[in-house]
Structure 1
C-alpha cells in the first residue's frame, strides 16, 4: 500500500496549513479531500487516505485543530485550502470530491451544501453545536451527495435517517441516503456494513467524477 506524506502547505496569503496526502502509484483519476474524525488524523484516517490512493485518487486530509471549537467557517476554510492544493497539483476542477466520517461525515455534508464539487460522501456523522442540523442542510446540497448512517441500535435511528433521506431528495443534485441498522456512527463495529459502505463510496465517486 502507498505511503503518506505530511507537509506544511504555504498558502498564497502567507499562511501555512498542514496536509497529509497519498499519491496513487498509477494513473491519477482525480482528487479527494478526506475530512477526519474528531480525534484528528488517526491511524484510521491514514488508512482511508492510503486506501483511496490505492484506488487511483490523490487523497489529502487537512489537519483541523483538535482543541478548538470548530465552526462552519473553520471546516470550509480547511476544505478550501485542500482544494487549492489539489488544483495546484493539476487536478481538474470537475474531478474533485470530499469524503468524511464521524465528525467529518457531518463536515462533508456541510461542504456539499456550501461548495460545488463533483461528489461528496458522508459516512456516519455527529452533529456539534457550531454546525447546522443535518436536516436543515441536506436539501441544500449543491454537490452530488451520498450519506450512509448507522443507528447503533437506537430505535429512533431509522426514522431519523428516513427524514434525512426525504430532506435530501428535495435537492437539485443527485443524492442517496442509506441506513445500516445496528451499525455505529463510525461503522467499525460492523465489518460487513463497513465493507458495503466502502464499496458504495467508491461507486459514488466512479459515477460522478469522470
Structure 2
C-alpha cells in the first residue's frame, strides 16, 4: 500500500463546537476522482494520516484527515463535528455523493453514525469501537440506527476484536440486513484483532490489511460519484439545449 510518490499533507485545524480539530489535508490538482474524509483515533495521527491520504491520492482521491483524539463529546456533538469537517471539505466544491467517509476506531463508530445523518457517496468503518452495551450484545443505540442509514456502509473488523464480539457483530449484521434502506456489508477477518489494518510482520495480518484496503478502494470507486470534467459538463449542457 506504499505510494510511489509521497506528498506531505498540509497541517491545519478546523473550528468546531468541541474545539479545534487538528487536520491533515492533501489537495490534488487537475480533476480528482473524488474526495475522502478520514476520521482517525488511537494512533500516530501525523504518520497515519500521511499514509492514508497518499494511498487515497494514488487512486485519485484528495482528502482531509481529522484527529479525533483532540476532542471529546456526546454522539450528537461528535456527529455534528463530522458535519463541520464535511463542510470544510466541500469548500473545494465537493458534493455529498462525491465524498467517501472512512473511520478508524472511534472514527469507525462515527462513520456508521454519520451514515444515518448525511447523504454521502460511501462510508467505511474499520475496527469501530464502543459498539456494545458493556456486554457481548450490540448497543441499542447502534442497532436503532439501521432504519436511518442513508449512505452505503462497509464495516470491517477482526474476529478477535474485543470491541465488537461475535454476538454484537451478528446483531449488527442482522439489524442492517433487515432494516437498512441503504446497501451495507460487514466483513470479519479470522485470527486477527482490532489493529489488523496496521503494519505487521504476521502473514495473517498482512493478508487482512491488504484485503481491507482493496475493499475500501473498491467500495469508494463503485459508489462515490466522480467529478465531471469540463468536457463532460459541456456535453451535458449541449444535450440540454438540444
Report TM bin, short chain.
0.7 to 0.9
Establish whether residue 200 from structure 1 lines up as the match of residue 215 from structure 2.
Answer: yes
Match among 84, 89, 107 for residue 86 of structure 1: 89
**Gap regions ≥5 residues in structure 2:** 1-5, 134-138, 226-242
TM-score (norm 2): 0.74
Structure-1 separation of matches of 2:161 and 2:9: 35
Runs (4+) off by over 6 Å: none
**TM-aligned CA distance change 1:71 to 1:10, over 3 Å:** closer
Corresponding residue for 1:97?
A: 100
Aligned-pair CA distance for 1:153: 6.9
Secondary structure, in 3 states, of the residue corresponding to 1:114? Answer: coil
Q: Is the Cα contact below 8 Å between 1:127 and 1:134 reproduced in 2?
A: no
Match among 127, 130, 143 for residue 135 of structure 1: 143
Corresponding residue for 1:175?
A: 184
Match among 72, 77, 82 for residue 74 of structure 1: 77
**Paired residues, what number?**
205
- Could you report, residue by residue, the CA deviation over 1:66-97 in whole angstroms, capped at 9, with x for unpaired residues? 3x533213322321122112211122332012
- The two structures, once aligned, show a CA RMSD in angstroms of 2.8
Corresponding residue for 1:184?
A: 193
Establish whether residue 36 from structure 1 lines up as the match of residue 40 from structure 2.
Answer: yes
Secondary structure, in 3 states, of the residue corresponding to 1:127? Answer: coil
Aligned-pair CA distance for 1:55: 1.5
Write out aligned runs for 1:104-183 (5 A): 104-127=107-130, 133-152=141-160, 157-169=165-177, 170-183=179-192
Q: Is the Cα contact below 8 Å between 2:40 and 2:103 reproduced in 1?
A: yes
Larger gyration radius, structure 1 or structure 2: 2
Establish whether residue 21 from structure 1 lines up as the match of residue 21 from structure 2.
Answer: no
**TM-aligned CA distance change 1:103 to 1:10, over 3 Å:** closer
Aligned-pair CA distance for 1:163: 2.0
Structure-1 separation of matches of 2:111 and 2:167: 22
Corresponding residue for 1:5?
A: 10
**TM-aligned CA distance change 1:51 to 1:182, over 3 Å:** same
Structure-1 separation of matches of 2:186 and 2:104: 14
